[in-house]
């Protein structure tokens, strides 16, 4: 798609973006992961660079290439993502948490490959909660720093979706929350997205749908 070259309205801004999905190991050859491709986070990085921002991309298992011009830091697990985001946070005035972060991880990681013959017919794996990266970043927020979160919800009804988003925005302490509907075929992995952008109070500031680059521009427009 042809994009009209806009103003470099984000010149001087330093934006830290997480993208992709974290993976939690079960043993040396297996992990628990999610369907995030990293496309929306990478589109945000691309759009921010085009508008003159300096961008650092914390990339968790991307299925797509990182944009040229971004400083890229690769991570795998939620702990690695947390460490990278905390270390990089203070050098950025804006943080966008587009990564899909594992909520749970295996409580114990097997040091050798799990073998069928050692297990039998069923295997139960105990999971424990991971740290909430976004909530930590909000709690440690520098004065004036803007923090944008995402919310993936399978709720279909628009008002129910907004209400869930409002609760999440307040709980996390974000300035903006991008709510997107996900499902078996929507959101993850697709080249388009359909989002509702909420402020800290849970009010809809805008909605956007279309290719992930144009959705990225609408999210960046909502920053102040
Ligand atoms: N997030 C995070 N660390 C986690 C889980 C989520 O930083 N351990 C971030 C995501 O990157 C996203 C936001 O929190 O920006 C919301 O993620 P989401 O999965 O929608 O919400 P959760 O708080 O994890 O709640 P739930 O999945 O139960 O709806
Ligand atoms: Ca979650």
**Alpha-carbon distance 218 to 208, whole Å?**
7
Is 0.95 exceeded by the ipTM?
A: yes
pLDDT digits (tens, 9 = 90+) for 46-84: 999 999 999 999 999 999 999 999 999 999 999 999 999
Q: Which token pair is 156?
A: 């279909």
Is pLDDT at 5 greater than 70 in this prediction? no
Alpha helix locations (H) across 32-77? Answer: 39-50
**Alpha-carbon distance 37 to 42, whole Å?**
9
Mutation to probe ligand 1, out of 36, 134, 138, 196 (largest number of atoms < 8 A from CB): 134
**Amino acid 2: pLDDT:** 61
**Amino acid 53: pLDDT:** 98
Q: Rounded to the nearest 5 degrees, what angle is found at the Cα of 133, between the Cα atoms of 54 and 149?
A: 60
* Residues 70, 50 contacting (CB under 8 angstroms): no
Q: Find all residues with CB under 8 Å of 88, minimum gap 6, and list them.
A: 16, 56, 58, 73
Distance 100 CA to ligand 1 centre (A): 7
Per the DSSP assignment, residues forming a β-bridge with 100 are 21
Q: pLDDT-derived band of residue 191, with 50, 70 and 90 as boundaries?
A: confident
Q: Find all residues with CB under 8 Å of 110, minimum gap 6, and list them.
A: 26, 27, 28
Name the pTM for this structure.
Answer: 0.95
CA-based R_g, the chain, Å: 18
Annotated active-site positions, please? 34
Residues placed in the known binding site for CTP: 103, 113, 131-134, 150, 168, 172
């Amino acid at each position: 798609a042809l994009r009209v070259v806009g103003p470099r309205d984000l010149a001087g801004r330093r934006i830290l973006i997480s993208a992709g999905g974290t993976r939690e190991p079960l043993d040396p050859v297996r992990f628990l992961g999610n369907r995030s491709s990293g496309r929306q986070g990478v589109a945000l990085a691309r759009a921010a660079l085009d508008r003159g921002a300096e961008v650092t991309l914390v990339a968790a298992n991307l299925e797509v290439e990182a944009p040229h011009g971004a400083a890229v830091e690769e991570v795998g697990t939620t702990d690695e993502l947390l460490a990278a985001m905390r270390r990089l946070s203070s050098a950025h005035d804006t943080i966008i948490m587009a990564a899909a972060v594992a909520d749970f991880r295996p409580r114990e990681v097997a040091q050798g490959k799990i073998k069928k013959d050692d297990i039998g017919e069923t295997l139960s794996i105990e999971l424990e909660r991971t740290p909430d990266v976004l909530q930590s970043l909000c709690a440690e927020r520098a004065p004036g720093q803007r923090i944008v979160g995402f919310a993936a919800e399978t709720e279909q009804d628009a008002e129910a979706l907004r209400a869930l988003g409002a609760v999440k925005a307040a709980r996390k302490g974000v300035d903006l929350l991008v709510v997107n509907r996900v499902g078996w075929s929507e959101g993850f992995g697709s080249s388009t997205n359909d989002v509702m952008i909420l402020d800290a109070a849970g009010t809809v500031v805008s909605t956007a749908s279309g290719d992930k680059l144009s959705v990225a521009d609408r999210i960046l427009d909502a920053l102040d």
